[in-house]
Amino acid sequence: MRVPHSTPHRDARTHRPAVVVRTNVVCVPADVDTADLRHHATETLAVRGLPTAGVLPHFTTRTRRTRKLIDRWRGRTSGGPIRLLDLDAMRRAAVAAAAAEWALWARVVDDTRPATPFWSYVERHTADPDRYPVSRAQADYLAQPRIVAMAAHNALPNRPLLLPTAAVEAFQAGYTTYLNLAWLAAVPADGFAPVTGGWLCPASQRLRHRLDYLAAANAHLNHLTPQTRLVAVASRVQHRPQPAAQTS
């Protein structure tokens, strides 16, 4: 169950499945030809039961050796050898964006009490779904002053940035932590398939579980050779119907 957007659905009683597209990074051995990278990476996710939606331009690159890459458009590519990808530039850009996001968030939520993350309400609902239905969980979550402040900002037509309520736990962890999270997530994104096999992803939406995932994924990245290929593959994850629209 994902964090609900503060804007209610036109009919809160209508239950529709929410499809979320996630970015997954697949490590591919250096001996796989460039022409086979796309198929190899999507099959890696398929055997893990993840419905794929093709590759997507996730990585930064400055090289013009396009024959070694899976497409290239305005300095971005869907994959290729690590030596041709600028992972440091990706991390710097992510940190810069996160700094602007956190500074804006701090102004928007000034003088509001810390908010309880949505996963806490989900756990309460899961423990007693009859006495604490999901609609009540969403309503209680959205009624928190800090979430209301973020929702009000997101409703502005000329807002400079969107402040996803799903990130409130990370925002509340502090400026430095928020920037560190951005650095850690810049390359591995939402899911990571090591070259040695297996699959890494957060165990839940809790911040500590996301940190566990990012630490493990970056540890694998640090031990890869420059010849190893990285490929970004989109996966569609369908969530059970929710009575309100969602914000990532």
Tens digits of per-residue pLDDT, 34-54? 999 999 999 998 888 888 889
Beta bridge partners of 21: 236
Give the integer Cα–Cα distance in Å for 7 and 35.
44
CA angle (172 as vertex; 167, 174 as ends), nearest 5: 115
Give the integer Cα–Cα distance in Å for 87 and 71.
17
Length of the chain: 248
pLDDT in tens, 148-173: 999 999 999 999 999 999 999 999 99
Query: Average pLDDT, stretch 11-33?
Result: 73
Give the up-direction half-sphere exposure of residue 63: CA atoms within 13 A in the CB hemisphere: 18
With 60 as the cut, is the pLDDT of residue 100 above it? yes
Which has the minimum average pLDDT: 87-101, 173-187, 197-211, 233-247? 233-247
Give the integer Cα–Cα distance in Å for 207 and 202.
9
Considering only the C-alpha atoms of the chain, give the largest distance between any 2 of them, rounded to a whole number of Å: 60
* Strands 79-81 and 229-242, bridge-based pairing: antiparallel
DSSP H helices in the chain: 34-46, 87-108, 118-127, 134-142, 145-155, 168-172, 175-185, 207-222
User: Residue 235 burial by CB count (10 A; 0-12/13-18/19+): exposed, middle or buried?
Assistant: buried
Which pLDDT score is estimated for 244? 41
Which pLDDT score is estimated for 241? 35
pTM: 0.85
Of residues 199, 220, 214, 189, the one with CA closest to residue 47: 199
